[in-house]
Amino acid sequence: MQTNRSELRKQCMTILYQIEVYDTNNIPYTVDDVIKEVSVIDNEFVKDVVYGVITYKESIDELANKYLDSWTIDRLGNTDKAILRMGIFELLYTGTPDIVAINEAIELAKVYSDDKVRKMINGVLDKIYHNKQV
């Protein structure tokens, strides 16, 4: 079964959301088990994004906080955190074209975040993109 990247990103968002809930509530888990719960297929892209976000979470959050005006990432909802972290990860640590990484995050935010948070995510990713170019 062929799944497009947008659908795979939705799975990544769901997995990262679930991991955030487990971490917040001190529920034991393995990342591979959470991936298997959500993703019906074994997919390297999903694993790369999920493990990448987990690996770089501290630096991703630090960068997000730098560009969130009067906010911090821990004030965002779990879904919003997952979307923003994925977007930043794809922008900085993958070969995904920058415009695609930003657009995919915004498309998820249009569906799963409110308008204010969507604009916030867009703003952070835009600032990271423009400062990355320097």
pLDDT number for residue 1: 44
How many residues appear in the chain?
Answer: 134
- Distance separating alpha carbons of residues 84 and 112, to the nearest angstrom: 12
CB 46 within 8 A of CB 39: yes
Tens of pLDDT along 102-126? 999 999 999 999 999 999 999 999 9
Average model confidence (pLDDT) across the chain = 94
Q: Is 41 left (phi over 0), alpha (psi -120 to 50) or beta?
A: beta
pLDDT number for residue 70: 86
The interaxial angle of helices 57-67 and 44-55, nearest 10 deg, is 70
Tens of pLDDT along 24-64? 999 999 999 999 999 878 899 999 999 999 999 999 999 99
